[in-house]
Chain A
């Protein structure tokens, strides 16, 4: 069709659709005259008009699920699936070889992965599970979460398969015996207890870090491989297989997980935590209890709480202490203490973090040298044993001497502050002389810039390079720098360029580089770059050594130039992960895992250790300087309050460049009757959730260092005073009478819960068919009902209402409309659709959502006024809070107020989540969250 012709078609079509439907045909006929082809063309378009294009409308959702990497697919289950699979049958890519076991979780087959040519364990779901779409959906969700677990001590979950009504989970097939089998032969030696315990702890640590709780840790779920490695099986499956419709009972262990026929019916609750036995909500500390049980059993050869019958065992778990006299007399005090701290019945007094258990086990290694040599051993073996004992003792003596020497001699390190302006240090390196410092900094209000501090001046001087960052300084005095630096989680992502330290014009070498390091001779370079699909580590430049699943930073070539150390971050956008090296053949070795945040790495002066800064506890809180050897021996070099980041170590190991910084989330607010704003921050990551209508009570949560990175709910009076901790979770809204808080508790599968602000019991709201709760909720004005946003099976997000006393949730908005505020008469909800546009939805009426008039792009509705006529809107922009009043009826808007945090120069964000700015309906009080960051560069001497 010619251009002109199409223009005519389009013109007619567009004119026609403006007319009433019954006039269109005549209009076209009249306008097209004799041109029948034109009439047909326009008519065919008209026939396709109106019917919404299914594909077009679904696209944003497809994009979303693609980006999120989580697919939702419809499930169809055939009736009565045949559960016993014949050999040769295909389930997805897996071909069944043989049945290897059966239990309450279904049957387990050995199967062949025909694509990857390896054998797997295929766990086939029992028909009870496989016939219930909700259960399948939940199972699938769990399986997806679990599949993200990737750790050498965890048996991997490869995926969830569905084929002709058979639902199966593909798992790593682990050879070896279970710890339960091994324990039938009696207690383990101390070394073995520590080695095994340590690996179990590492597995738990990796899972806890991802918010996954095992819930069913026991010797039968722990396998010892032929080479002494440990693999923890069935992570989180207790929950995935859970058949209890009542969410409160979730996570009761699978009493049926062993393959033993008899046990498969009853199993044992001997490893269940007291809170689990009581059916209480669980967190990671339930695993710590079970871990304590396993440790005890490895040490003694008998179960910590075993008894004849299930009810007797449960009674023991709940009431009796373990028999401490059963522990062998040679058990080191530290280990004894560790078991004790794991087995505290009061969950709040129990060991909090499995990472601490791992460290304790490490420390307990030294006394292991006192192991008595068994006199019944054959001589040769005895001598070998004695030899190794001597070696261990020698190591212990050496280590003791080393510690003593440290105690006696280590002088306090000396720190010299090098930078003083407000802002962020991007990176810093020492030149070959070990004294000249080159650093990149972003001062508030200025672009990233490179500075140099020469030993003779101690003053920062600009290198004249703007939008630049430093990667490395070579032994020959060349700088590897980032041009066009884009700050990316504190690192410069930019174009790698080379420039002499004495000045000159930079020579660009490679695009999209995030880190680079010269080899010790200054001839070669290790580079981490972004390829468009992912990250890669090259060393030298023509050789890709490693392509991570996530991303990597801080690549540093060893002093011997035989390997590259780096920080391996598992997930894009997350700074957690592990410390690893890769040799010149691309063999990667992980040295230390389980870090929640990691930034900064360098080789020690002699190359024996890799030093790095990070935290196992959380993202925002204190991080310390650690060292790990290639033999994985880890120690803490130095810790201080605030966040530490290692930038560089001089070649002689004498000087260390560190950045110290602090990120804070603070709350400012104007309480009822107050004349001025007051700082209502509590710990380090104070984040607003709600303010009571009278402006007297603030609901907030903490999720930083102060609470060990576990989101924790508090309320506090806005006139100051103590904050009261209500429990873990994410608070959403205060009830009108300020007696209840609606909150999300539990991860990853959060649950809508009502928490009493004073006395009373927490209540979980039944979830009906809700698959996922979103983070918005509000109370009805009478305080009897809760509105909330959630998702049922499929892609549908919408607003629901539920009686605070219970009952099932009922939808109150059409699909795709997510609530953001309830009017004071409880009859209208302001809701957002998936395109980010706002609507008013009449509650309980069949009228379609009515577009909200008068708002601007980026506006966020904050609150209805008391009379329901005005919506307070926050304007777009994350460094200011400008609030307008929108007349809901007329769409007229009026600027109302701008909130300005104290010391705005260091503010990096002001409550970018809608819930982080709250106003009372009368407009007299408000609270908001703001984020600040400040950092300074230090040169430390005497760190050892």
Chain B
């Protein structure tokens, strides 16, 4: 099917370094993610497959022609998804961030209240900024965090995406976590 081939082609282009291909992939994958999520909530389906990882895998199965791609394309796709997840979360946090601080708004909407309640658990903006800093220090580590934390990839998948051995990926992941832990511990949380 077509869908399929164009996403496959885009993945190939992206893995060859065509940045524009990524921009074309993002809306596609994002739309599909949302569609799948919406569909899964309604349908009598495995609720436990509504985990981002499973979701991403399923979206991948739908968008990409299994017969046409190899493992590396799959890995690239997971990389794209991780980037999207990060972007979605950060945009979301940013959009509601201003209101959260209560700039003179007397009454708060239910959305804001949700944000406020959810905020202490996941300091997304702080994490995003810390990741940006990590990227200047060690881009590979930043990439690992994006894949593992935002994309929900396993160590093995992460290793494939980055083309390193799983043991290296595991070591790097541990290092990245320690670095971020230290960084976030000293930074005021946003």
**Beta-carbon contact of B108 and A62 below 8 Å:** no
Q: Which of B1, B36, B57 contacts A448 (CB 8 A)?
A: B1
Whether B12 sits at the interface, judged by CB under 8 Å, is no
Whether B164 sits at the interface, judged by CB under 8 Å, is no
Nearest-neighbor residue (CB-CB) of B150 within chain A: A59
Residues of chain A contacted by B154 (CB below 8 angstroms) = 835-837, 857
What is the CA–CA distance of A915 and B47 in the complex, to the nearest angstrom? 13
Whether B162 sits at the interface, judged by CB under 8 Å, is no
| Closest beta carbon of chain A to B8's beta carbon, Å | 11
**Beta-carbon contact of B2 and A58 below 8 Å:** no
Nearest-neighbor residue (CB-CB) of A211 within chain B: B42
**Beta-carbon contact of B117 and A73 below 8 Å:** yes
**Beta-carbon contact of A56 and B48 below 8 Å:** no
Nearest-neighbor residue (CB-CB) of B138 within chain A: A6
**Beta-carbon contact of B44 and A487 below 8 Å:** no
What is the CA–CA distance of A10 and B174 in the complex, to the nearest angstrom? 11
| Closest beta carbon of chain B to A741's beta carbon, Å | 16
**Beta-carbon contact of B2 and A703 below 8 Å:** no
Nearest-neighbor residue (CB-CB) of A90 within chain B: B107
Residues of chain B contacted by A93 (CB below 8 angstroms) = 107-109
Residues of chain B contacted by A485 (CB below 8 angstroms) = 2-3, 6
Residues of chain B contacted by A730 (CB below 8 angstroms) = 44
Whether B50 sits at the interface, judged by CB under 8 Å, is yes
By the criterion of a CB under 8 Å from any partner CB, how many residues of chain A are at the interface? 93
What is the CA–CA distance of A488 and B6 in the complex, to the nearest angstrom? 13
| Closest beta carbon of chain B to A764's beta carbon, Å | 18
Q: Which of A6, A442, A775 contacts B2 (CB 8 A)?
A: A442
Whether A229 sits at the interface, judged by CB under 8 Å, is no
Whether B161 sits at the interface, judged by CB under 8 Å, is no
Answer whether A10 and B138 are a contact pair too, CB < 8 Å, given A487-B2, A573-B38, A774-B47: yes
Whether A914 sits at the interface, judged by CB under 8 Å, is yes
Q: Which B100-115 residues sit within 8 Å CB-CB of chain A?
A: 106-110, 113-114
Residues of chain A contacted by B36 (CB below 8 angstroms) = 573
Q: What's the count of A-B pairs with C-beta under 8 Å?
A: 228
What is the CA–CA distance of A512 and B26 in the complex, to the nearest angstrom? 12
Q: Which A692-749 residues sit within 8 Å CB-CB of chain B?
A: 703, 711, 730, 744, 747
**Beta-carbon contact of B113 and A67 below 8 Å:** no
**Beta-carbon contact of A45 and B182 below 8 Å:** yes
**Beta-carbon contact of A572 and B152 below 8 Å:** no
Residues of chain A contacted by B153 (CB below 8 angstroms) = 835
**Beta-carbon contact of B3 and A486 below 8 Å:** yes
Tell which of B37, B45, B148 has the most Cβ of chain A within 10 Å: B37
Q: Which of A14, A73, A90, A512 contacts B106 (CB 8 A)?
A: A90
Q: Which A5-20 residues sit within 8 Å CB-CB of chain B?
A: 6, 10, 13-14, 17
Answer whether A789 and B110 are a contact pair too, CB < 8 Å, given A13-B178, A68-B41, A857-B157: no
Residues of chain A contacted by B182 (CB below 8 angstroms) = 44-45, 47-48
* Among listed A157-165, A232-240, A286-294, A646-654, interface-contacting one: A157-165
What is the CA–CA distance of A912 and B175 in the complex, to the nearest angstrom? 37
| Closest beta carbon of chain A to B141's beta carbon, Å | 8
**Beta-carbon contact of B122 and A59 below 8 Å:** yes
Nearest-neighbor residue (CB-CB) of B40 within chain A: A68
Q: Mark B47-78, 1 if CB is under 8 A from A, else 0.
A: 11111111101100101001000000000000
Answer whether A73 and B150 are a contact pair too, CB < 8 Å, given A92-B109, A572-B38, A574-B38: no
**Beta-carbon contact of A571 and B38 below 8 Å:** yes
What is the CA–CA distance of A711 and B53 in the complex, to the nearest angstrom? 28
Whether B118 sits at the interface, judged by CB under 8 Å, is yes
Q: Which of A45, A512, A789 contacts B175 (CB 8 A)?
A: A45
Q: Mark A28-70, 1 if CB is under 8 A from B, else 0.
A: 0000000000000000111111111111101110111111111
Q: Which A146-165 residues sit within 8 Å CB-CB of chain B?
A: 159-162
Whether A801 sits at the interface, judged by CB under 8 Å, is no
Residues of chain B contacted by A170 (CB below 8 angstroms) = 110
**Beta-carbon contact of B109 and A58 below 8 Å:** no
Whether A818 sits at the interface, judged by CB under 8 Å, is yes
Residues of chain B contacted by A836 (CB below 8 angstroms) = 51, 53-54, 57, 152, 154
| Closest beta carbon of chain A to B137's beta carbon, Å | 5
Q: Mark A813-853, 1 if CB is under 8 A from B, else 0.
A: 00000100000000000001011110000000000000000
What is the CA–CA distance of A287 and B127 in the complex, to the nearest angstrom? 50
Residues of chain A contacted by B152 (CB below 8 angstroms) = 60, 63, 834-836
**Beta-carbon contact of B6 and A467 below 8 Å:** yes
Whether B184 sits at the interface, judged by CB under 8 Å, is yes
**Beta-carbon contact of B27 and A532 below 8 Å:** yes
Nearest-neighbor residue (CB-CB) of A45 within chain B: B178
What is the CA–CA distance of A791 and B102 in the complex, to the nearest angstrom? 34
Residues of chain B contacted by A47 (CB below 8 angstroms) = 182
**Beta-carbon contact of B137 and A6 below 8 Å:** yes
Residues of chain B contacted by A703 (CB below 8 angstroms) = 44
Q: Mark A761-786, 1 if CB is under 8 A from B, else 0.
A: 00000000000111110000000000
Residues of chain A contacted by B110 (CB below 8 angstroms) = 92, 159-161, 170
Residues of chain A contacted by B58 (CB below 8 angstroms) = 912
Answer whether A58 and B137 are a contact pair too, CB < 8 Å, given A571-B42, A878-B61: no
What is the CA–CA distance of A536 and B74 in the complex, to the nearest angstrom? 31
Whether A95 sits at the interface, judged by CB under 8 Å, is yes
What is the CA–CA distance of A774 and B44 in the complex, to the nearest angstrom? 9
Whether A245 sits at the interface, judged by CB under 8 Å, is no
Residues of chain B contacted by A387 (CB below 8 angstroms) = none
Residues of chain B contacted by A67 (CB below 8 angstroms) = 33-34, 37, 52, 55, 88
Interface residues of B (CB under 8 A from A): 1-7, 26-28, 30-31, 33-39, 41-42, 44-55, 57-58, 61, 63, 66, 85, 88-89, 92, 106-110, 113-114, 117-118, 121-124, 127, 137-138, 145, 148-150, 152-154, 156-157, 171, 174-175, 177-182, 184-185
List 25 A-B pairs, Cβ < 8 Å. A6-B138, A10-B138, A46-B178, A48-B177, A48-B179, A48-B182, A49-B181, A56-B127, A59-B122, A59-B124, A60-B51, A63-B85, A66-B88, A69-B38, A159-B110, A467-B6, A485-B3, A492-B2, A747-B44, A775-B48, A834-B51, A836-B54, A836-B154, A837-B154, A879-B66
The 9 closest A-B CB pairs, nearest first, are A73-B117, A573-B35, A486-B3, A48-B181, A93-B107, A48-B182, A159-B110, A573-B39, A49-B178
